[in-house]
Chain A
Amino acid sequence: MLANAPRLMLVGRRLVQFVPVIVLATFVVFGLLKLVPGDLAATLAGEYATEERIAQIRESYGLNDPFLVQYGRWLWNAMQLDLSRSFQSNEPVLEQIMHRFPTTMLLVVGALLVSLVVGVPLGILAATNAGSRLDVAVTSLSSFGVALPNFWLAMILVATFSLSWGWFPATGAVRFGADPAGAIWHAVLPSIALAAGGIAEVVRQLRSALIEILSSQYVRTLYAKGLSPSAILWKHGLKNVAVTLLTVIGLLASRLLGGAVVIEAVFAIPGMGSMVVRAAIVKDFPVVQGVVFTMVILVIAINLMIDLLYTIVDPRVALK
């Protein structure tokens, strides 16, 4: 059963942790934005600024209030799921996030899938042929993958698959709900570009964990008992690296969320990453805070899910 007492306690603990994490994260971001030089009211007034208009903006957005009052007001509203309105567009921030969230998630999930589909077989190949030329080739490739800047890879992919061959679109995104096939087609190149580092990470972690397990005493015993190498790998080896793999997936998901910012810019994808970058440049506090709020919830949810999966793969984890 998924909902047993230890697991419920785990969920409860995570939810309690959520409150201080979200307050701390949003407070720090709010403070950092305040430290960024530049007058927000003058920025909002734009090219048609006058002293009078700047003063009016400062008053109407409550920018004359002390820092803590401004933060407290935002937090109070956020607790009631009112993420306020964008200073720039006057659109409700929650609506904007909900609009862009699926696009970013498609990108992240796509990159995660690519990382696993490519990384797991390569990791197994390298581990089962440890020390061979194949192993050297795979580990060298994965080192290259870690060092590869994903924006550079993105440019190469666009130049080749979009501009030269015309197989995939060079820019933009389609909403999954409106056209699932079109959305996936648009997400292929960005997902591959975003996944480059992820593939390398999966290969390296899986390889080292699997080598450790395959060289352990109980595996030697299994060989001695006459089990075939494939049975040992599939029944015992991979089962025991599942926890490592889950940890990698959890870390990777958080990292891909951050990496999406760059990829969204290169492919002009209207996702949460590009939204928060633009908002940070013009000091649109409500949007930045709203995205940080969402990201924190997302990362905590991912971690919670990974923790729950640990307990399924290895029930001893929940008991601890």
Chain B
Amino acid sequence: MNAPIKLPSGRIDRRTFLALTGAAAMAGGEAKAQKRGGTLRLSAQSNPSSLDPQTGNSGSDHVILYPLYDSLVEWDYTTLQAKPGLAEKWAYPDPSTLVLTIRDGVTFHDGTKLDGAAVRYNLMRAMSHERSNIKSDLGTVAEITASGQTVTLKLKQPDSALPLILSDRAGMMSSPKAMEEHGRDYDRRAVGTGAMKLVSWADNERVVMVKNDSYWKKDRPLQDGMVFQIIPELPTGLRSVTAGQNDLVYYLVPQQKQLIDRARTLGSAVGPSLLCVQAYFNYGRAPLDNVKVRQALNYAVDREEFNKATHGGIAETTSTILPRAHWACATEYSGTFTYDPDRARKLLAEGGHPNGIDILGVGYAEQLQVQQQEVLIEQMRKAGIRLRWERYTGPPTPAAFFAEKKGDILLAPWTGRPDPSLTYQLVFGTGSYFNAGRGEGAPGLTEALLATRASDDLTVRKEAFRKLQKIVTENALHLPLLFRPELTAYSAKVKGYKPNLLGKPKFEDVWLEG
């Protein structure tokens, strides 16, 4: 029997994470110890926005989508590097052509076959359907052809990000027959090729799944079924696991770590994630169109203190949008902005604000978010930055900043994407929704972004990301603070759970004892 994987309460760095996920992998790899059967009951904080991967609009959907859908490409838990999924292999015969070879013998939950035509149908729908939220993910695709189990994507320009893009929503394959049959109702149907089949979805209540008996992956699924209970309040979700009504709760906040440790019946896992707590800047107008002011804001924050005060010191502080454990992270920039209020004052003076500056922030009204905002007010005050907040509840918060253009900065998390180029494109790209100013943040940024997708050689891509990060850091295009660790708690009967670097839990290796 394996004991729950207890991770240290200190910060998670690359080495620790690799060691821990390695240990977890070993635990999960003990095939003899794995047991089959039972229903895994999970407490999920958010109701899915949709069970159609193409029309959903929330990053928290993925955890519920993963058991229902396989994606064309999968990623490695520790490095996020692409690995075969429904596409057993892929190749770029030339920089503007991507050829996918689709795994044979896979069927959708409705019994129809997964072939090249089905994949083409899915990708075309993602690119053209009026309710598709992922059109821009496939924006470089010009033409798709399919023959047998082969799918060929002709590209408008070289795009090496596509394999990892196909590990996200765009690569989750739905049955064309089911999509045709259900129309808009497909949002609530979900007919994929995943380890679990959808039984029912009671809105804001629960999503029930049962195992797919004809699943193509050997020895999977390990559970007979899964039930996601929608419990928006995290303390209530944790209580449901303590009381034995659920087996696992994810996306807990660091403040709950002590509670978990005190409850002797619970195990926990802390993993790094791509979820970057940061302040977005509207650098399309004054005062943040001034690079000196943006740099001043970055030097005015004591990230270590912020981490201790708001995340119990267990998060990874950062000056970049990728964590140190990520293959594309230019680690030399991860600690660029050290706390230096004097330097911040000097930069403000150089930027034409010798008497300090007033900054209006937009933020969430939730308690933990308000705490973060208060810490920033206090820290920035010492550098002559008079920060005040306009608060909103829930999803209207980012909308107020990005759509209505309120405020100078927005304190909100970025949940990350499997391919880092998409993260940079969405957060800093010209015209992107998440770039509130919509303009080019710095000269050369667009070219640097394109360069990150020009080659499928990882070494070349890593160098391109280093150059891109240099531009972002030198121009202080945002105020990255820390990566919120992914904290999961589970009962003693849950075995084999492994965190992943994306920070969106998968449960394919989880089994239940007893």
Contact = CB atoms under 8 A, between A and B. Distances in A.
B240 interface: yes
Contact of A96 (B59, B203, B233, B396): B203
A37 B398 CA distance: 12
Q: Is the interface on chain A under 10, 10 to 19, 20 to 34, or 35 or more residues? A: 35 or more
B231 A282 contact: no
B397 interface: yes
B245 interface: yes
Contact of B243 (A36, A54, A163): A163
Contacts, number: 130
Interface string B226-249: 000111110011011011111000
A142 interface: no
B81 interface: no
Taking each of B392, B394, B396, B404, which has the highest tally of chain A beta carbons within 10 Å of its own beta carbon?
B396
A96 B202 CA distance: 9
Interface stretch (B5-13, B130-138, B191-199): B130-138
B367 interface: no
Contact of A170 (B49, B230, B240, B392): B240
A130 B135 CA distance: 75
B425 interface: no
Contacts of B133: 45-46, 48, 53
Contact of A49 (B236, B239, B402): B402
Contact of A158 (B230, B239, B396, B415): B239
A268 B56 CA distance: 24
A125 to B, nearest CB: 36
B309 interface: no
Interface string A235-269: 00000000000000000000000000000011110
Taking each of A53, A56, A275, which has the highest tally of chain B beta carbons within 10 Å of its own beta carbon?
A53
Contact of A39 (B187, B205, B239, B403): B403
Q: Is the interface on chain B under 10, 10 to 19, 20 to 34, or 35 or more residues? A: 35 or more
Contacts of A48: 56-57, 133-134
B393 interface: yes
Contact of B396 (A38, A99, A169, A278): A38
Contacts of B233: 265-266, 268
Interface stretch (A72-80, A83-91, A191-199, A205-213): A83-91
Given A43-B396, A90-B187, A265 B202 contact: no
Nearest to A54: B403
A283 B400 CA distance: 13
Nearest to B397: A38
Contacts of A12: none
Contact of A89 (B135, B203, B395): B203
A56 B400 contact: no
Given A48-B134, A170-B239, A39 B49 contact: no
A278 B398 CA distance: 17
A171 B236 contact: yes
B57 A39 contact: no
A37 B240 contact: no
A169 B400 CA distance: 40
Nearest to B233: A265
Contacts of B49: 46, 88
A270 interface: yes
A99 to B, nearest CB: 7
A31 interface: no
B202 A39 contact: no
B399 interface: yes
A179 interface: no
B177 interface: no
A178 interface: no
A278 B232 contact: yes
A265 B236 contact: yes
A39 B406 CA distance: 11
B184 interface: yes
A36 B133 CA distance: 26
A39 B407 CA distance: 15
Given A46-B133, A47-B59, A99-B202, 20 more contacts: A37-B392, A37-B396, A46-B57, A47-B415, A48-B133, A49-B57, A49-B402, A53-B133, A96-B203, A162-B243, A163-B242, A170-B240, A170-B243, A171-B243, A171-B246, A267-B236, A270-B204, A275-B204, A281-B395, A282-B395
Interface of A: 36-51, 53-54, 56, 86, 88-91, 96, 99, 158, 162-163, 166, 169-172, 265-268, 270, 274-275, 278, 281-283
10 contacts: A38-B392, A39-B403, A46-B395, A49-B403, A171-B236, A171-B240, A172-B245, A266-B233, A274-B204, A278-B47
